[in-house]
Amino acid sequence: MLSDVRTQPFQPGHGPLSPGSRAGLGAALALLAIVSAAELADGRPAHYLALMAAAPVLAGALTSWRVVLAVGALATAAGVAFAVAERGASLVTAVNVATVALVTVIAAATAAVRQRQAERINELSRLAAVAQQAVLRPLGPQVGTLAVAARYISSTATAEIGGDLYEVMDTPYGVRMIIGDVRGKGLDAVRLASIVLGSYRHVAYERADLRAVVADLDRAVARNVGDEDFVTAALVEERGGTLTIVNCGHPPPLLLRRGAVIPLEPPAPAPPLGFMPVVRPRVERLEPGDRLLLFTDGLGEARRDGEFFPTADRAWRLLGHGTVGDGLASLETALVEWVHGRLDDDIALVLMEYAGPRSATAAPVPSWEVGAADG
């Protein structure tokens, strides 16, 4: 369900060498070979031994401390061999060999610190992924009359996670969904996202009017944020083929219909949750085959060389084929290609498709009550 755009932090010292480690080791050995060849060609006395100190430094930038020590030991041994070949090594040669050994120790210590930091980042990233998945539970593939798919695209390789949120539920008032974006990043943003989702999962079943749902969520946010914190959100309800949308400072959803892409702008702007928004619903009548894309502002802000990703222009070609899951996969691929894999913000995506009214034989109860109805 979650899809992350991220570069995995380097993990030195675990299992086979990574491509980066192999490149670093190869470059260090190549340098040693070049310096050794230069010394052999130059003859005695040795003039280039000090350059061998660059080999462990080069290895230390990309490999583990164990590899650095091995490269440094090889460089030191080569230096000793050239010194012995001088038949009475000069003080300069001895100092150069000692310098190679000292630099090896320093490079190995630096590599060890870098390795511990990389392992720490990896652990934080794993914990962050667990926390985010606990907040954003899997959706679909079918909720009520809607086919639903969701995707979360992370912008960072570190543990700095965002507060994008979404949920889709089959309630007594129809299929209801929310997408939102908490200001800021990190665990505080995830905490606030979990508060919003927890409140929404409760009140969406209790309030008949989406405006009442917004009021409840606004109070929940206001109780748990500072003066400058807020949550943008769009709430959508599908009931009997009628789509109702209320928007609290969030990018408007896109309706895809027969090759056209229609931004569902609100009748009047409203501030985000936390600023007491007064919303006006927008109502649309759905047609079978209509698709609706909900997204956070990371999609609208994705750019390459100052040019924003043309979401509206390409939405139908990317999202109008196959299943809703296929559509989101196409959108993600095109987006990552557009930004060359470097996003400035996390992105949450929800795509739903309206298949038409329920069949006459279907039980007129929401999916979460099916078990009770059968009893």
224-275 per-position pLDDT tens digit? 877 678 999 999 999 999 999 999 999 999 999 999 999 999 999 999 999 9
> Quick one: which of 313, 316, 250 has its CA closest to 277?
250
- Please check whether residue 202 lies inside any domain of the structure: yes
**Looking at 72, 97, 126, which one is the last position of a domain?**
126
Domain coverage including residue 226: 137-352
Asked if residue 105 and residue 143 are part of one domain, the reply reads no
Q: Integer distance in angstroms from the first to the last C-alpha of the chain?
A: 32
- Please check whether residue 364 lies inside any domain of the structure: no
Bigger pLDDT: 87 or 102? 102
Report the pLDDT averaged over residues 98-103: 89
Structure tokens at 15: 């299992």
**Looking at 101, 126, 151, which one is the last position of a domain?**
126
Asked if residue 240 and residue 113 are part of one domain, the reply reads no
Three-class DSSP category at 312? helix
The C-alpha atoms of residue 259 and residue 248 are separated, in whole angstroms, by 28
**Looking at 126, 155, 172, which one is the last position of a domain?**
126
The DSSP output letter for 369 is G
Amino acid identity, position 41: A
The C-alpha atoms of residue 204 and residue 199 are separated, in whole angstroms, by 8
Amino acid identity, position 324: V
- Please check whether residue 9 lies inside any domain of the structure: no
- Please check whether residue 291 lies inside any domain of the structure: yes
Asked if residue 184 and residue 260 are part of one domain, the reply reads yes
Supply the pLDDT for residue 131.
Answer: 66
**pLDDT confidence tier of residue 134, bands split at 50, 70 and 90:** low
Asked if residue 285 and residue 171 are part of one domain, the reply reads yes
Any bridge partners for residue 134, and if so which? Answer: none
Supply the pLDDT for residue 8.
Answer: 42
Supply the pLDDT for residue 64.
Answer: 86
- Find the CATH number of the domain harbouring 142: 3.60.40.10
Residue-wise pLDDT tens digits, 183-224: 877 778 888 888 999 999 999 999 999 999 999 999 999 998
Amino acid identity, position 85: A
Q: Of the ranges 32-36, 63-67, 147-151, which is most confident?
A: 147-151
Asked if residue 122 and residue 142 are part of one domain, the reply reads no
Neighbours of 284 (CB within 10 A): 18
Dihedral of alpha carbons 37, 42, 43, 48, sign: negative
- Please check whether residue 366 lies inside any domain of the structure: no
- Please check whether residue 357 lies inside any domain of the structure: no
Asked if residue 214 and residue 331 are part of one domain, the reply reads yes
- Please check whether residue 132 lies inside any domain of the structure: no
Asked if residue 181 and residue 266 are part of one domain, the reply reads yes
Length of the chain: 375
Supply the pLDDT for residue 306.
Answer: 83
Bigger pLDDT: 370 or 164? 164
- Please check whether residue 69 lies inside any domain of the structure: yes
Residue 155 has pLDDT above 70, yes or no: yes
> Quick one: which of 352, 82, 33, 346 has its CA closest to 190?
346
Dihedral of alpha carbons 291, 294, 297, 298, sign: negative
Structure tokens at 237: 């309800």
* Domains: count for the chain: 2
Asked if residue 153 and residue 250 are part of one domain, the reply reads yes
Asked if residue 196 and residue 158 are part of one domain, the reply reads yes
Asked if residue 75 and residue 172 are part of one domain, the reply reads no
Task: Share the mean pLDDT of the chain.
Answer: 84
Three-class DSSP category at 303? strand
Residue 364 has pLDDT above 80, yes or no: no
Asked if residue 303 and residue 162 are part of one domain, the reply reads yes
Structure tokens at 265: 């702008």
Asked if residue 143 and residue 74 are part of one domain, the reply reads no
Amino acid identity, position 173: Y
**Residue 209 CB contacts under 8 Å (≥ 6 apart), including other chains:** none
Per mean pLDDT, which range of 106-115, 154-163, 177-186 is the poorest? 154-163
